[in-house]
Each structure stands twice: as C-alpha cells, then as structure tokens.
Amino acid sequence: MVTTIQIKEDTKSTLTQMKLFERETYNDVLERLIEDVHELNDETKKEIESAINEIKSGKYITHEKLAEEMGF
C-alpha cells in the first residue's frame, strides 16, 4: 500500500541531502534511517551514555595530543 505524507520543505530538503544516490527514493532513505535507529540496542545505548559521561568529566584525549604522544 502506498500513501502520501505531509512534511515540511526543510525536512524534504534534508531527506534529499541524505540520499546515497540520486535515484534513491524517499521511502528508501526513511527505511534506512529507521533501520539505523533499531540497530541501537540497549547495550549500545549504555555504551554511548557512558562515553558521553566520560567526555563531560574530562576523561578523553584529543587527536592532536594522541598524535603528539605517539610521535606523529
């Protein structure tokens, strides 16, 4: 079954920019996005939350600092 939905013009523009190739349909783009969301299982969400907390608490190293430490 095919249906029509109303979206804002800027949303349509964003979907257009997200196409992997010119002839990809908006339905394909939306299905890809939905699949990506479903792939975030509970464990992945916990890992993301943990990483965000580490960054907020200052437990990270910049690319520049890492490169310096590794001698690049």
Residue 39 has a pLDDT of: 82
The domain ranges of the chain are: 24-70
Q: Please say whether the beta carbons of 64 and 53 come within 8 A.
A: no
Place of tokens 């997200």: 18
Does residue 12 register a pLDDT over 90? yes
Contact assessment for residue 17 and residue 7, using Cβ atoms and an 8 Å cutoff: no
* pTM greater than 0.85 (yes/no): no
How big is the CA angle at 71 (ends 67 and 72), to the nearest 5 degrees? Answer: 55
Kindly report, residue by residue over 31-71, the tens digit of the pLDDT.
999 998 888 888 888 999 999 999 999 999 999 999 999 99
Rounded CA-CA distance 1/47 in Å is 38
Per the document, the length of the chain is 72
Pairwise CA distance, residues 29 & 54, whole Å: 33
